[in-house]
A and B are shown apart, each in its own frame.
Chain A
């Protein structure tokens, strides 16, 4: 008696057996890669955010003269204002890109959870926004003549945490407002007030780092706040997104 062979060529030409649906991480990864590929091909949101960031930094340098010592203290606030505005352009696209051709229905009908769909989009948004922010940071360094590169790694850490906070809330509200009229108004009206604690923490942490100075001692409090915000809102969003997407 020979041992049973593996699936023959004939069998694999016949219909495949019932599959188990893909797991959370794989589904989220598929969605994230899809969003990134689509965005990198069209570069709609990317170009808009980048251009917007640079122009705002330019405008800020007229409003807040970089050569004056006092305004350098505003560095953290300026940067995060720029990031928050640029971010809106990214989140806006996030679920809006699923509207043409009813693509959102195609995704919702697929065997992936709403949470996986959301997580994938949030991850893609995070990456895109981080790229825009790093570019913005470079421009800021030039305009304001700061030595932020000496604090690169802590700065990157703060950027990562702060951007995650913005992305988590922004992407959820993008899903929430996807087929509402006045979508462009809803997003900033709802998202920014909710983000105030996270932005506050990020600004306090970024301020000295962006100027090339070490972070002050009370930094731990803000770091904990930012971390707690990230964890709480990620958990809440993952739990609530299904209710948002399916009526």
Chain B
């Protein structure tokens, strides 16, 4: 993506975010049981959705790499994964803050936070693996396989840990607990700026990755002479 497009997207994201914050803080009423901190859910949940989308996209890019052997797909995969990790971390952080305020403890082994932590570790492993492989073609191949496996593992992790524990309040999107339609709208509305932000970060990271590869290539050529 060109620089101008990125700036426009950033601006759009900022504007939406500002508008949402205004609505969140001033117009929406507090939730009955949880008070003002409830608003953190408007970042906590969309961050998770963004992370999942990113991981899914990374797996798709990885599959395309294995089929086409074009290193740009690999750059896309690593960029998406890093962005996904960032949003997963945001999800974990907001979840922990919320838990601390509501229940007084930093970590409760509730299913969704636990599952997200496992996913985070999985993809952190993906990044660590990339650092251990020098040759770009081998690195891309190996990372692609791990990305696909990790992506398939994500839903399995979530289901298994959910069956194992139940302490989180009813999942609001997957059925179970109900939510005021105004809150629903805000969840989706706030997802948009997060997605835009994710797209911008991915584009920036991809650009950085292609420069990195160019430098590595030049270095290798310099050594060979």
Direct contact, A vs B (beta carbon within 8 Å): yes
Chain A residues in the interface with B (C-beta under 8 A): 169, 172, 176-177, 180-182, 186, 189-190, 193-194, 196-197, 200-201, 204, 221-222, 225, 228-229, 232-233, 236, 240, 243-244, 247
Whether the Cβ atoms of A197 and B142 lie closer than 8 Å is no
A232 in complex: contacting residue of B137, B146, B152, CB < 8 Å = B152
Can you give 21 A-B contacts (C-beta < 8 A)? A176-B142, A180-B133, A182-B132, A186-B128, A189-B128, A189-B129, A193-B118, A193-B122, A193-B125, A194-B122, A194-B149, A196-B118, A196-B161, A197-B157, A197-B161, A222-B163, A225-B159, A225-B160, A225-B163, A243-B144, A244-B145
Task: Given A243-B141, A243-B144, check contact A196 B157 (CB 8 Å).
Answer: yes
Q: Which residues of the partner chain B approach A204 to less than 8 Å between Cβ atoms?
A: 164
Whether the Cβ atoms of A176 and B157 lie closer than 8 Å is no
Q: Which residues of the partner chain B approach A182 to less than 8 Å between Cβ atoms?
A: 132
Q: In the bound complex, how far is the Cα of B143 from the Cα of A180, in angstroms?
A: 13
Whether the Cβ atoms of A196 and B160 lie closer than 8 Å is yes
Whether the Cβ atoms of A200 and B122 lie closer than 8 Å is no
Q: Which residues of the partner chain A approach B138 to less than 8 Å between Cβ atoms?
A: 247
Whether the Cβ atoms of A186 and B160 lie closer than 8 Å is no
B: number of interface residues (CB 8 Å) = 28
- State the total of A-B contacts with C-beta under 8 angstroms: 74
Q: Which residues of the partner chain A approach B141 to less than 8 Å between Cβ atoms?
A: 243-244, 247
Looking across the interface, which residue of chain A has its beta carbon closest to that of B144? A243
Q: Which residues of the partner chain B approach A180 to less than 8 Å between Cβ atoms?
A: 129, 132-133
Q: In the bound complex, how far is the Cα of B149 from the Cα of A236, in angstroms?
A: 8
Chain B residues in the interface with A (C-beta under 8 A): 66, 118, 121-122, 125, 128-129, 132-133, 137-138, 141-142, 144-146, 148-150, 152-153, 156-157, 159-161, 163-164
B142 in complex: contacting residue of A169, A181, A232, A244, CB < 8 Å = A244
In the assembled complex, the CB of A22 is this many whole angstroms from the nearest CB of chain B, namely 26
Interface residue SS majority, chain A: helix
Beyond A193-B122, A197-B156, A236-B149, 5 additional contacts (C-beta under 8 Å) are A190-B129, A193-B118, A200-B161, A200-B164, A201-B160
Q: In the bound complex, how far is the Cα of B219 from the Cα of A187, in angstroms?
A: 30
Q: In the bound complex, how far is the Cα of B144 from the Cα of A233, in angstroms?
A: 15
Task: Given A189-B128, A204-B164, check contact A236 B152 (CB 8 Å).
Answer: yes
Q: Which residues of the partner chain B approach A177 to less than 8 Å between Cβ atoms?
A: 129, 132
In the assembled complex, the CB of B68 is this many whole angstroms from the nearest CB of chain A, namely 12
In the assembled complex, the CB of A201 is this many whole angstroms from the nearest CB of chain B, namely 7
Q: In the bound complex, how far is the Cα of B59 from the Cα of A26, in angstroms?
A: 33
Looking across the interface, which residue of chain B has its beta carbon closest to that of A232? B152
Q: In the bound complex, how far is the Cα of B156 from the Cα of A194, in angstroms?
A: 10
Looking across the interface, which residue of chain B has its beta carbon closest to that of A181? B132
Q: Which residues of the partner chain A approach B118 to less than 8 Å between Cβ atoms?
A: 193, 196
Q: Which residues of the partner chain B approach A189 to less than 8 Å between Cβ atoms?
A: 125, 128-129
Q: Which residues of the partner chain B approach A229 to less than 8 Å between Cβ atoms?
A: 156
Looking across the interface, which residue of chain A has its beta carbon closest to that of B150? A194
Among A172, A204, A228, A244, chain B packs the most CB atoms within 10 A around the CB of A244
A221 in complex: contacting residue of B144, B153, B163, CB < 8 Å = B163
Q: In the bound complex, how far is the Cα of B118 from the Cα of A193, in angstroms?
A: 6
In the assembled complex, the CB of B132 is this many whole angstroms from the nearest CB of chain A, namely 5
Task: Given A180-B133, A190-B125, A193-B125, check contact A240 B160 (CB 8 Å).
Answer: no
Whether the Cβ atoms of B133 and A190 lie closer than 8 Å is no
